[in-house]
Chains A and B, each alone.
Chain A
């Protein structure tokens, strides 16, 4: 097992090193300032940015830490609101096959809509770009959790629900001690997909609304033709995405159960 792991790590590192070397070789052959910047240039920018992640020199010049924090703040608001709504509605749908079948066509139609398509509607109705971006996150993280919760609750073993009704558990206790724990693995799987799509959507949403956030940062650096910053931002977005997913993977392991 450990031997296998060691080989995986070695191979993984080799692939990374080969990629970076190839990248460097490719970019070194071109005159400086033209074409894609090389890894050394990106590294230098990264070093600079990470040295002062939280500086604030006005609206168009903030540290990457501040930008990421702004994005994560939006993500948290939109994602938590969406998850709460999705779990509540999902439980209702999962418990009532009738309701599920009645509502499902609407979900199926709304689910494939890109969350950004809602943006104009939000901007028009609430007239606040920041809140609109949060609502875009809301729309992007609603459906996977909703669908998974409904499925998870609908497939709870009858016996568990029978025990709950024999014990005459109150509605809240039934939810807290039987329904949610029983459906937890499915719900968390949905939450994991949702956080991924929310993180994907936020970059695009922030490019549209401007102001703060990592998406805006990428767009702004593109306007400055600072491609090293763009590349570094891409890496940072990817890394944060991995961390978000890892957090939920941990939660999923904690809530898993074997029958």
Chain B
């Protein structure tokens, strides 16, 4: 039994114009091992954030299901912390209070002092020492997402769900926070599922990258192994031939492909017929 099993998940939404339903994605199936960092890449509208919400328990699958450590996910839980694209910090709480809210919830038996100490450790870890009493509105996007990361990591979740966490952060800061994410992830080896449309980010951070075809009616096309040794350094990575090959492969997929040409979706590990890729040797079937 895999640590996290995405078991042939299909999601329909009611059509916005008239009756009927629109299929966002169909029969998405893969699994994630404990300690693994898996990223899903796809165009807007392929439903990757919806899939993340289903894993989080915030939305229900129309068919199929998600199983974490042998138990089906039916509702949100503190074992699956989400880092949101828009940070989703409570604007009436200070940095410290925002993280404390999560720590308190994760460790109900701890006393005040122990909770405060734990919160402070994570505030320091993301470099926000001195900003504890600030409200989120007084922080830049990058600093806010640091709080978001600290809040998520501080509860030591079984699974971290990152929903385009760097999309609203300026390019220069993004790199710094990605490095911070790598540091925190390396320290605790949490299992991570991330959603993004930034290919470089996906390769830099992930063990495997899942590629979704264009929506609606999107499918999981393939899962690419990133066999670049860690720790990965951004500057060195740019010249790594493996990195360049992966990057080209994924970008080509997103630009040209992004469509499965057969009507049949992926079922139980079947090959996807008609999906041609010049770098098929790089791909691995989950």
Is B31 an interface position by the 8 A CB rule? no
CB distance from A163 to the nearest CB of B (A): 5
- Closest Cβ–Cβ distance, residue B253 to chain A (whole Å): 31
CB of A29 within 8 Å of the partner chain: no
Q: For B82, give the chain A residue with the smallest CB separation.
A: A166
Interchain pairs with CB closer than 8 A, number = 59
Q: At the interface, yes or no: B74 with Cβ under 8 Å from chain A? A: no
Interface of A is mostly: helix
Nearest-neighbor residue (CB-CB) of A180 within chain B: B92
Say whether chain B's binding surface is mostly helix, strand, loop, or mixed.
loop
Specify which of A162, A167, A255 is in contact with B58 (CB 8 Å cutoff). Answer: A162
- Residues of A within 8 Å of B106, CB to CB, are 167
Determine if B76 and A165 form an interchain contact, defined as CB atoms under 8 angstroms apart: yes
Tell me if A166 and B81 are in contact (CB < 8 A).
Answer: yes
Q: How many residues on A have C-beta within 8 angstroms of the other chain's C-beta atoms?
A: 20
Residues on B with beta carbons closer than 8 Å to the beta carbon of A169: 101, 105
Contact-residue bracket for chain B: 20 to 34
Expressed in whole angstroms, the Cα–Cα distance for A173 and B105 within the complex equals 10
Residue of A160, A168, A178, A259 touching B77 (CB-CB under 8 A): A168
Residues of B within 8 A of A167 (CB): 78, 101-102, 105-106, 155
In the complex, the answer to whether A162 meets B137 with C-beta atoms within 8 Å is: no
Closest CB in chain A relative to B92 CB, distance in Å: 4
Given contacts A162-B82, A167-B155, A259-B91, 6 further A-B contacts (CB under 8 A): A163-B88, A166-B77, A167-B78, A168-B78, A178-B90, A258-B135
Q: Would you mind naming 21 contact pairs between A and B with Cβ atoms under 8 Å apart?
A: A157-B88, A159-B84, A159-B86, A162-B58, A162-B84, A163-B88, A166-B57, A166-B76, A166-B78, A166-B80, A166-B81, A166-B82, A167-B102, A167-B106, A173-B105, A177-B90, A177-B93, A177-B101, A178-B90, A182-B90, A258-B135
